[in-house]
Amino acid sequence: MDLTIDLTAKHLPCGASLDLLIEQVADGRAGVGTGGRAGGDAAERARHQAGCACCRAALAEAELRWSPVRATATAPVAVPEGLLRSILERVRDIADAGHGLIRYTGHGATRITARALRRIISRASTGIPGVAAVLGSRVDPGTRPVRVAVEVIATDDRPLPQLTSDIRAAIRVELDRGASLDDPTVDVLVQDIAFPGRAGRR
């Protein structure tokens, strides 16, 4: 028997609801007799599907149409290099908006945004021997003393306590020089270690 299944109809010729049937397929229960949500008429639908050519054909057809959706949903997505970092930077920019250091003098107020402070922190950390990459930074101008943090990837050729102490010192010098921010608390997070001399390893 040839059956034409119209998946846009409300009901199958046998009277079964197509909405429920497609839901059954989307839930990964395309096998005949596994239909129905728990309770209710689930058992009855299962029994009906087992003996109904119409339902079996519709289930097979819906499964065929749905399988590319399922394949796409479960396929791993390759994230382009640098994308995550730039997203994080953007998110931090948004979160930082309106935050910053405000200083009042007799002649007016000076506001230095968290973003500007983060630029200073990145520049101070870049180029220090042992820093392979600066991943990002955070500024919390609301605390006293102001607390900042930087995330880096280190190379494998320097002891980390020495490296982090150099990074901290450089950031403190630059924040003082660039933004008159004295005595900040500087957290240094070493996210990873790179092995530049050994190809293929990181």
Determine the size of the site formed for Zn ion (CB under 5 A).
5
Among 26, 32, 54, 128, binds Zn ion (CB under 5 A): 54
Name which of 151, 150, 154, 160 is nearest 185 in CA terms: 150
Order of all β-strands in the sheet with 147-155: 131-140, 147-155, 185-194
What distance, in Å, lies between the first and last C-alpha atoms of the chain? 62
- Residue 52 contacts Zn ion per CB under 5 A: yes
Nearer to Zn ion, 63 or 140 (CB): 63
- Binding map of Zn ion across residues 8-27, x = CB under 5 A, - = no contact: ------x-x-----------
Pair 169, 131: CB distance under 8 Å: no
- At residue 49, what are phi and psi to the nearest 5 degrees? -60, -35
**Contact between 59 and Zn ion (CB under 5 A)?**
no
Length of the chain in terms of residues written: 202
- Nearer to Zn ion (CB atom), residue 36 or residue 184: 36
Residue number, 14 or 43, with CB nearest to Zn ion: 14
Q: Does the protein bind Zn ion through residue 167 (CB under 5 A)?
A: no
CB of 70 to Zn ion, least distance (A): 23
**160: alpha, beta or left? (left if phi > 0; alpha if psi -120 to 50):** alpha
CA distance 7 to 19: 9
Per CB under 5 A, the segment of 3-11, 51-59, 107-115, 134-142 that binds Zn ion is: 51-59
Q: Which residues bind Zn ion (CB under 5 A)?
A: 14, 16, 52, 54-55
